[in-house]
A and B are shown apart, each in its own frame.
Chain A
């Protein structure tokens, strides 16, 4: 982690992030990302043996998974001692399609589609 990111590595990350960078940007980001990552890497010094399986934002989410027992719930399921975790699967209207398409760079209202350049 201590060695400087190469501009090739930066180009690779940029590709993953769907960003086009100029050579000057690649240089600049190589230096800045190296510095930031070196600082961020200090997390490796922390002793996380006691929290090896804890990678969620807050304990409530862990309780959610435990009490639901992994079942794809029916709408009537109520978890003992806890709040109802499942909502009724009732369709409701979504956003107004025309309003959404009006914001599109190239929307096709009749077909309800977003037109884009060819995929392949």
Chain B
């Protein structure tokens, strides 16, 4: 079996049958990573000894019934794995090794998965291209002169390049869905509150969600089922009886209603992206879905709202990086205040500083009402737009990103231009809704080192807690596309 192209489910089943050992699968993954990582820079940390030890332990287990038994998985470096260096893509954590596992890690390991390493990301998840990583950008395997998107770029690359079949990322304003689209893989953001954030290094607490990547909808759904569920460690994770995401995948879309906010697509979306999107919508209609046009009247406020709310929350969450308890401490400070400022100035990159100041400003005396409170109110309007649209429909469909993967360096000079990459992904985040990106017909690309094509994605957003229906529609869309092999 070519474990590079095989899905997580196929690999797991082969291990259960005895056709493969977990050790062989993990060794293969490590070898592929060793070959590709110098070019793609998907991983910041790979712990081969730990992974092989875990794999051998899986092979010794008499019962191999874990849902992900023996399957290697890559973990975004904003998620804590006990004893494994965790950087959040930043210098400020130094050589920090968490003294605890994130809840999602405990659940993955209990299901038999093997953590291979920590993937590259924009610093503290702030970015849309992985270019704001303190460890150099990751590269898109479809064209190594282009970004893989972000902030979970490394995880998207790991799956797209066949290094691991599955990965975890985190999504605040689109950081799982957008890199998934730009790398031609499936990426999902669960309903807010469905997956525990305990052990996820916080960026914006009312928006952050850990989400899975896979090359197939089924693999992605399976990972979400494994990691999700109530957690006493996270007071916002209250998933009451949530339907399994994988169990209804083959039910089809006959009779399901999908809305498209056509007005939003009139400007700013590349022609090829729009054409591929439309043809995918037709494919869903051909399978029996009822498609109509909807309006999301407050969409134009989504990015400004996001960059006020998320940065405000970040300014509070990142106050803890002060040189006291972990990570970097700048030398030579004679007072604790000096230590804070020197540590943070030395340890944070420019994008983080920019967002911290934006957030601080939005919360500061004299501006709090006009910026932060107003943004939260407009957020409610955005959420109500979605609720209204979804009252009589099962999903809203848009292209995940207005363009395919852009070139490294293309958007870094203008922060605002980079923020506009998120135009379709931030709305569902603000509304707390489940949202998934599925690869659709790729576009021909000029030059590049890949196969001469650039992937794009279609984003489906559903009702709160109805992740299962979103996956079901995604699976139908997948059936209408050619198979997505690793690049």
Contact = CB atoms under 8 A, between A and B. Distances in A.
B345 A99 contact: no
Given A17-B315, A18-B322, A37-B358, A43 B378 contact: yes
B415 A36 contact: yes
Contacts of A87: 232
State which size class the interface on A falls in: 35 or more
Contact of B206 (A32, A57, A106): A57
Q: Of A18, A21, A103, A116, which is in contact with the most chain B CB atoms at under 10 Å from its CB?
A: A18
B341 A20 contact: yes
A104 B322 contact: no
A29 B232 contact: no
A18 B96 contact: no
B370 A44 contact: yes
A39 B324 CA distance: 36
A46 interface: yes
A43 B301 contact: yes
B298 to A, nearest CB: 7
Contact of A42 (B301, B338, B354, B373): B301
Contacts of A36: 307, 354, 358, 415-416, 419
B240 interface: yes
A54 interface: yes
B135 interface: no
A54 B336 contact: no
Interface stretch (B146-154, B256-264, B325-333): B325-333
Contact of A55 (B336, B345, B373): B373
Contact of A106 (B238, B301, B329, B416): B329
Interface in A4-46: 10, 13-14, 16-21, 25, 29, 32-33, 35-37, 39-44, 46
Contacts of A60: 193, 238
Contact of B305 (A33, A43, A52): A43
B339 interface: yes
A105 B323 contact: yes
Contacts of A54: 376-377, 380
A87 B233 CA distance: 11
Given A36-B415, A116-B336, A118-B335, A20 B375 contact: no
A41 to B, nearest CB: 8
B415 A32 contact: yes
A103 B324 CA distance: 10
A16 B432 CA distance: 30
Contact of B357 (A19, A50, A100, A104): A19
Given A32-B415, A37-B361, A105 B344 contact: no
B432 A58 contact: yes
B99 A29 contact: no
A29 B354 contact: yes
Contacts, number: 164
Nearest to B300: A42
Contacts of B305: 43
Contact of A18 (B307, B341, B378): B341
B306 to A, nearest CB: 9
Given A33-B361, A117-B336, A46 B381 contact: yes
Contacts of B380: 48, 51, 54-55
A2 interface: no
Interface in B345-399: 345, 348, 353-354, 356-358, 360-362, 364, 370-371, 373-381, 383-384
26 contacts: A10-B357, A13-B360, A16-B360, A17-B357, A18-B344, A19-B341, A33-B358, A39-B303, A40-B308, A40-B358, A48-B381, A51-B384, A54-B376, A55-B376, A57-B207, A57-B432, A58-B192, A58-B206, A83-B238, A100-B325, A103-B96, A104-B326, A105-B327, A106-B329, A114-B324, A118-B336
Interface of A: 1, 10, 13-14, 16-21, 25, 29, 32-33, 35-37, 39-44, 46, 48, 50-52, 54-58, 60, 83, 87, 95-96, 99-100, 102-106, 114, 116-120
Given A40-B307, A43-B304, A120-B335, 11 more contacts: A18-B337, A21-B345, A36-B358, A36-B416, A39-B304, A48-B374, A48-B377, A57-B432, A58-B432, A114-B324, A117-B338
